[in-house]
Amino acid sequence: MSTDGDTQHAVAIKLPTFWSAEPRVWFQQIEAQFALKNIVADQTKFYYVVSALDQDTAKRIIDLLEDPPAENKFASIKQRLLDSFDLSNQERAARLLNMAPLGDRKPSELMDKMLALMGKHQSCFLFQHLFLQHMPEDIRIVLVQKDLENPRDLAKQADKLWLARTSNIDYTIAKLRKQRQAKSTTPFNSNDSSQYCFYHRRFKQDARQCRPPCAAQQGNAKAGCPQ
């Protein structure tokens, strides 16, 4: 039986195609749409879900589609799809143990993925250990001393350390670039190399010997070159 709210909004909602890789997220999305459109009738929600299934998914649950229960149709199709496509506890554990390296991601991004794999399970010291193993050593040393039990607080602190670490790296890179630019503007890189001896023409400021006459003789004493 359809309610007035269902009839009013029957054509005002279009669900995304079922996400077989993320069935729980998909149901959270569509149930939010049901709530916003005031769709509450069991049968209406059931047929909305059926209409959003791709061909392969529909074939896997064809028995339920052809002979749905008299009551709790939506709950039945939701549970069936979760049983068919949601990760098992063993699969979740395997993915947690084989997470990709942190790379250039913020630590909180890694934490989001790990917590999503945990589902409704509570995190524990082993979970935190797995997270810390993906942190750079200098960040990990600081975090283990803070003894943070809440995974979100742990990720927040890791982000702060990550930002500081990245800023230091950026500063070092900029400094090296300036040094290279300064080095490239030394007299030894001048187009007119005839004023320098063989050693300074070939090795430039790294020359350890000098053969006069040479325009670099003024700096030879600093470089340890013979006059």
pLDDT of residue 226: 41
Q: Which two tokens stand for residue 88?
A: 């098992």
Write out pLDDT tens, residues 37-78: 999 999 999 999 999 999 999 999 999 999 999 999 999 999
Write out pLDDT tens, residues 166-197: 776 655 555 566 656 655 555 555 555 677 78
- Computed over its alpha carbons, how large is the radius of gyration of the chain? 33
pLDDT of residue 19: 94
Tell me the pLDDT band of 88, cut-offs 50, 70 and 90: confident
Quick check: pTM over 0.85?
no
Helix (H) / strand (E) element for 113: namely helix 107-118
pLDDT of residue 122: 84
Sign of CA dihedral 142, 145, 151, 153: negative
More confident of the two residues 189 and 92: 92
pLDDT of residue 183: 57
Whose CA is closest to 130, among 86, 95, 90?
95
Residues above pLDDT 90, as percent of the chain: 46
- Contact yes or no for 35/13 (Cβ under 8 A): no
Write out pLDDT tens, residues 104-115: 889 999 999 999
Write out pLDDT tens, residues 147-157: 788 999 999 99
pLDDT of residue 66: 94
Across the chain, mean pLDDT equals 82
Q: Hey, which bits of the chain come out as E strands?
A: none
The half-sphere exposure of 128 on its side-chain side, counting CA atoms within 13 A, is 19
Local structure of residue 48 (DSSP, 8 states): H
